[in-house]
Amino acid sequence: MKYSQPIIVEGWQKIAEKYSSWAQYGMTMHSKLVLKEDWDWLESIICPSLKKITGLDHKIELCINFFVAPKKTRGIHVDYPNPQQPNWALNIPIINYEDSEMIWYSGDYSQHTYYRPGGMSSEKITWHSKPQLVEAYSIKEPTLVYVDVPHD
């Protein structure tokens, strides 16, 4: 996997159906934490597919639904760096994903950690030169994505 890798997750459409009502029309962007009460159900759908790929058992560490309106952007960012291993996430399209894409960048930048309300952390990026696009992928099915490099 360079930056994105679609995977087969049997039943992922059930996930999309369950959370499609969370999309708030008229808003350009919002996110919502998925309650831990849902994690067992999500793991029953997702984790068998991940085990087929890695041979390992997996558990959800964090589950957030991000909704970004068509033709909008969250801005280039880096999520939750872990120096011990590459950080990845499983993106599952929920609604209005037909014209969306995830883009990864490289270039000369520095980053520092900041904490959002609720204790979540992200990396603030300061670009010292224009970011260079290295990959773009339209996520129309469950896709493993690297999140420890600049992306939007």
Per-residue pLDDT of the chain (152 residues; tens, 9 = 90+): 689 999 999 999 999 999 988 876 666 777 788 999 999 999 999 999 999 999 999 988 888 888 887 777 888 988 866 666 658 889 999 887 887 889 999 999 998 887 777 666 777 899 999 999 999 999 999 999 998 889 99
Distance CA 5, CA 67 (A): 21
Q: Which of 49, 94, 44, 88 is nearest to 69 (CA)?
A: 94
What is the Cα Rg of the chain in Å? 16
Which of 146, 135, 152 is CA-nearest to residue 86? 146
Instruction: Measure the CA–CA gap between 137 and 51, rounded to whole angstroms.
Output: 24
Contact in structure between 62 and 23 (CB atoms under 8 Å): no
Residue 80 and residue 122 in contact, taking contact as beta carbons nearer than 8 Å: yes
Sign of CA dihedral 53, 54, 58, 62: negative
- Tell me if the pTM is above 0.95: no
- Residue among 82, 83, 102 at smallest CA distance from 142: 102
The whole-angstrom separation of Cα 103 and Cα 114 is: 22
Q: Return the DSSP state at 77.
A: B
Rounded CA-CA distance 57/116 in Å is 30
